[in-house]
Structure 1
Amino acid sequence: MRLLAPLVVVLALLVSACGGGAPSSGGGIAVALQFPPRAGYAFDADDGALLTKLGVAEPLVALDRQGDPVPGLATSWTQEGSSWRFVLREGVTFHDGAPVDANAVVTALTYVLGRPAPPRAIKGIGLQVAAEGPMTVRATTTAPDPVLPLRLSSGTTSILSPAAYATGQQPSPIGTATGPLRMTEIRGTEGATLERNDGYWGPKAASARVDVRYVTDPQTRELALRSGDVGFAEGLPETSKAGLQADPSVTFTEFPSARTILLQLNQSAPPFADVRVRKAVTTALDRNVLANQVLGGSALPASDLFGPAVPYGATQAPPAADVPGAQALLAQAGFGPANPLRVRLWTFPNRPELPVLAQAIASQLQAAGVDTEITVGQYDAQEPEVLAGRYDMFLNSRSYLSDYPDAASTLSSDYTCGGSYAIDRYCSPAFDALVAQLGIVTDPAARAQLYRQAAGMLTTDAVGVPIVHPRNTAAEKGVTGFVPDPLDLRPVLPVLAPAG
């Protein structure tokens, strides 16, 4: 096992870049978030979801805590065959004062639909939108879509003011959204300034100002919280859990997530084009040890893609490692002491558990005769390479309710032949046919059964290895109001307030 690029812990806080000090005058707070914008808050990337999390931008449909659709910018919706009719909320204005009406919604959705890579939530369904009166929008798809309101809850379909699209450039969220917090300044990938939108149609933001700081290193987020430089931080290292829980000035929260850490295997090239090698890796790993010992119980061992956070997820423990069985599978594929298997394992440090798991996975694979070369790098640099199939193994953390709270999104984008995030490069006509049924099945119990079948097919075909289902962490110091969101799809910042 060789480590090419170990995680470098940056101990210097980002005070000079971010202004320093948690703002206190005027009821302001500072927060440390782990994932910066990937493309300057571009909606056709994942940054639309980030703007929803910040409480800046809003889609037509909101979500309750169970992930069910509830009124947002639209107050009601009805299905009529292959179209849905959305009635907009009266009296809502954008941050620039323009009214939210049908024409504004059509302008916003037409923009994202016309992008070279439309958002995954609405890609490939033939969506078209048109105004039907001043406050009604009709959305039509190629075939009847049973979950279109959930698709339009995705932050990537949020609605900005027509002025944002009038320049011909990438739309800017500064002063053009509708949420309880108004973005007034963007500092690249370092941070942003948000101010309360006093004209918001719903509950007002609890803080007058939020200083957002994107701090990718987990130890630095912890130090920023401990020093009081920020009052809220997310994604804290497991090693800091005991100390933070013992600190009376800190409120530490740990909560489940609809997320799986996956060891993804490139099936488009040797050695993982051979299912025997993929099964050997699965057989060599002890996921119970990885969850309970390596991560100290902060995650649950994963036996398939979906975990216990959803009713259709697997709850049984995965099997223990079978090193002789893994060695036998490798021998069948032509690997052994005379021809050892050497592979590259990539991961990234933004989620602090990943580098730790990478080391432990490499150690378990070494016991079966697999030599693993680990590289810990930045996700943004790795993503184009893994999507292009220029990798061996990739340890990734993925929400299986990505984009909107319906598992069909992840099954389609990650595992179908034409999927936009198909890192494993898996292509099975039988699997595609199974997922296609989700386009017509409306009964929740029947959809859940299809999810179970899809997960079982991925397990049978050894499409990567689901490692663990992690738990999320967050902490407040001098700040109150945090509400955990296992789905990671709802606004987080508007409810945070200065303590006292």
Structure 2
Amino acid sequence: MRALAPVVVVLALLLTGCGGGASTGDGAVSVALQFPPRAGYAFDADDGGLLTKLGVAEPLVALDRQGGPVPGLATDWTQDGTSWRFALREGVRFHDGVPLDANAVVTALTYVLGRPAPPRAITDIGLRVAAEGPMTVRATTTAPDPVLPLRLSSGTTSILSPAAYATGQQPSPVGTATGPLRMTEVRGTEGATLERYDGYWGQPATAARVDVRYVTDPQTRELALRSGDVGFAEGLPETSRTGLRADPAVTFTEFPSARTILLQLNQSAPPFADVRVRKAVTAALDRTVLADQVLGGSALPASDLFGPAVPYGSIQAPPAADVAGAQALLAQAGHGPANPLRVRLWTFPNRPELPVLAQAIAGQLQAAGITTEITVGQYDAQEPEVLAGRYDMFLNSRSYLSDFPDAAGTLASDYTCGGSYAIDRYCSPAFDALVAQLGALSDPIARAELSRQAAGMLVADAVGVPIVHPRNTAAEKGVTGFVPDPLDLRPVLPVLAPAG
């Protein structure tokens, strides 16, 4: 009963703190999302992507369901060497009534480009923007960039009204964006209130109001859905999936994702600076057992970073565990009964499968002679430590298309020597040279082949261990309209509506 108490308390707060339920007579719906804003909806963090998912903010370029670029705030674009010209959509008004024009776009993009850590989608390409007439924006890069429209589909490049940037403070999306839902209230990391924007240029939001609640605990999200306090929840616990499928009042959806759960290994310090130890960890793990038995088939075993969700990912099953081989590699590295290897494994609970996997991974490593101390903590507190190399092993869930729908972003940010999210602290000039070639490739087939080669190099160098490719989950109760997005880059909330 003591273990359940925190969940019950949080659920009680959900039931009493905001009022209402899953849907009400005024056309409103309530949703439970698993990841709150990381920095007050700051675009130079990852919160721009969250605002796109909410249906509040929009970038120049939208995405179709296959991840291809389609018109958004820009209706057309053309390339001429290092320059791209974007024609803006006529008749768009920000939520404060100000019309969209080229100067507004330049103000917004210049702001994020000038941040100490610009969005990963547009960093390190020398991007500059300027107005060419009232409704045309010219974007230039240091070298020709074949995927700049895809980069400008990132939610971190969304456009806010000039008023958002006039204060000199962090721009607020409250009443300043262009999406079908207008943000009217923010409650920190607890939630936000969104209202349908009747002046929207495109398909209007279905619900008159959306009450967003950020609920980091997966069991609490499930309880809030079952109680009817929210009508939509994402990221449901693996243990609850069978029951949710059987509930006639619930519409349960499970769908593939361009996401990989990775066991990341700190190569900047012992013991994982030694490739033999990294290969020993890889050999000790049975990823098929982790996917099929520990996660009950809700994920696919991973043999490389990408997997079958994209055409350049491996569809081969990973090797079976080789405990004897792992022990031999550890012995070569100086570890054995007389000098056992003890390591720390960190993970976080927001993705409900991670703590479960961490326990199973620790058990498999123990069989090879590696003792693991597990810590389950909050991601926001762990991230600075892992980025600084002050960790041993980190079980992470990574969307490899998290910035824009092309592998170049993740390959550069996560694995190059100067990458901004290089948790493994891997640095290979050969890998960097390979990834740099993507800057000159526009042919999708050639880009796919190069991405495939990069993933193979990561496997050969034992840069962490790709564990599984999880499947996403979402459920509706008293709410309809959810459309799965395996890329996790398109708006989710504008299509939700009260059932009936």
Same fold (TM over 0.5): yes
Q: 2:51 is matched with which residue?
A: 51
Distance 1:425 1:377 in 2: 21
Q: 2:453 is matched with which residue?
A: 453
Q: Say whether the 8 Å CA contact 2:23–2:479 is kept in structure 1.
A: no
Decide which moves more: 10-19 or 145-154: 10-19
Say which SS state the counterpart of residue 308 (structure 2) adopts: coil
Name the amino acid aligned to 1:22: A
Say which SS state the counterpart of residue 200 (structure 1) adopts: coil
Q: Say whether the 8 Å CA contact 1:434–1:454 is kept in structure 2.
A: yes
Q: 1:3 is matched with which residue?
A: none
Say which SS state the counterpart of residue 52 (structure 1) adopts: helix
Q: Say whether the 8 Å CA contact 2:345–2:392 is kept in structure 1.
A: yes
Q: CA deviation at 1:253?
A: 0.1
Q: For residues 131-151 of structure 1, give each alpha carbon's deviation from its aligned partner in whole angstroms, at most 9, with x where no partner exists.
A: 000000000000000000000
Say which SS state the counterpart of residue 70 (structure 1) adopts: strand
Distance 1:243 1:286 in 2: 28
- Is structure 2 residue 395 aligned with structure 1 residue 398? no
Q: Say whether the 8 Å CA contact 1:11–1:219 is kept in structure 2.
A: no
| TM-score normalised to structure 1 length | 0.98
Q: 2:90 is matched with which residue?
A: 90
The within-5 A match list for 1:368-379 is: 368-379=368-379
Distance 1:497 1:53 in 2: 16
Q: Say whether the 8 Å CA contact 1:17–1:190 is kept in structure 2.
A: no
Name the amino acid aligned to 1:46: D
Q: For residues 15-68 of structure 1, give each alpha carbon's deviation from its aligned partner in whole angstroms, at most 9, with x where no partner exists.
A: 233335334132000000000000000000000000000000000000000000
| TM-score normalised to structure 2 length | 0.98
Q: 1:157 is matched with which residue?
A: 157
Q: CA deviation at 1:7?
A: 11
Distance 1:294 1:105 in 2: 48
Name the amino acid aligned to 1:10: V
Distance 1:128 1:59 in 2: 16
Name the amino acid aligned to 1:343: V
Name the amino acid aligned to 2:8: L
Name the amino acid aligned to 1:160: L
- Is structure 2 residue 300 aligned with structure 1 residue 303? no
Distance 1:289 1:95 in 2: 50
Q: For residues 329-349 of structure 1, give each alpha carbon's deviation from its aligned partner in whole angstroms, at most 9, with x where no partner exists.
A: 000000000000000000000
Name the amino acid aligned to 1:90: E
Distance 1:182 1:490 in 2: 17
The within-5 A match list for 1:63-142 is: 63-142=63-142
Q: Say whether the 8 Å CA contact 1:302–1:467 is kept in structure 2.
A: yes
Q: 1:269 is matched with which residue?
A: 269
Q: For residues 262-314 of structure 1, give each alpha carbon's deviation from its aligned partner in whole angstroms, at most 9, with x where no partner exists.
A: 00000000000000000000000000000000000000000000110101110
The within-5 A match list for 1:193-208 is: 193-208=193-208
Distance 1:409 1:495, change over 3 A: same
Q: Say whether the 8 Å CA contact 2:180–2:204 is kept in structure 1.
A: yes
Distance 2:229 2:315 in 1: 40
Q: Say whether the 8 Å CA contact 1:63–1:153 is kept in structure 2.
A: yes
Q: 2:416 is matched with which residue?
A: 416
Name the amino acid aligned to 2:357: L
Say which SS state the counterpart of residue 307 (structure 2) adopts: coil
RMSD between superposed Cα atoms in Å:
1.0
Q: CA deviation at 1:400?
A: 0.9
Q: 2:215 is matched with which residue?
A: 215
Say which SS state the counterpart of residue 319 (structure 1) adopts: coil
Name the amino acid aligned to 1:125: I
Q: Say whether the 8 Å CA contact 1:86–1:137 is kept in structure 2.
A: yes
Q: Say whether the 8 Å CA contact 1:7–1:355 is kept in structure 2.
A: no
- Runs of 5+ unmatched residues, structure 2: none
Q: 2:8 is matched with which residue?
A: 11
Q: CA deviation at 1:402?
A: 1.6
Q: Say whether the 8 Å CA contact 2:308–2:314 is kept in structure 1.
A: yes
Q: 2:257 is matched with which residue?
A: 257
Q: Say whether the 8 Å CA contact 1:18–1:191 is kept in structure 2.
A: no
Q: CA deviation at 1:8?
A: 8.7
Q: For residues 112-162 of structure 1, give each alpha carbon's deviation from its aligned partner in whole angstroms, at most 9, with x where no partner exists.
A: 000000000000000000000000000000000000000000000000000
Distance 2:357 2:36 in 1: 23
Distance 1:306 1:64 in 2: 20
Distance 1:322 1:20 in 2: 54
Name the amino acid aligned to 1:133: G
Decide which moves more: 310-319 or 12-21: 12-21
Name the amino acid aligned to 2:45: A
Q: For residues 406-465 of structure 1, give each alpha carbon's deviation from its aligned partner in whole angstroms, at most 9, with x where no partner exists.
A: 000000000000000000000000000000000001111110000110000000000000
Distance 1:26 1:176 in 2: 24
Distance 2:160 2:31 in 1: 24
Q: Say whether the 8 Å CA contact 2:22–2:478 is kept in structure 1.
A: no
Distance 1:96 1:294 in 2: 50
Distance 1:280 1:131 in 2: 55
Distance 1:8 1:458, change over 3 A: farther
Q: 2:440 is matched with which residue?
A: 440
Distance 2:161 2:19 in 1: 30
The structure 1 segments of at least 4 consecutive aligned residues displaced by more than 6 Å after TM superposition are: none
- Runs of 5+ unmatched residues, structure 1: 1-5
Name the amino acid aligned to 2:65: R
Name the amino acid aligned to 1:128: R
Say which SS state the counterpart of residue 308 (structure 1) adopts: helix
Name the amino acid aligned to 2:400: Y
Distance 1:433 1:200 in 2: 44
Name the amino acid aligned to 2:286: D
How many residue pairs get aligned? The number is 495
Q: Say whether the 8 Å CA contact 1:128–1:140 is kept in structure 2.
A: yes
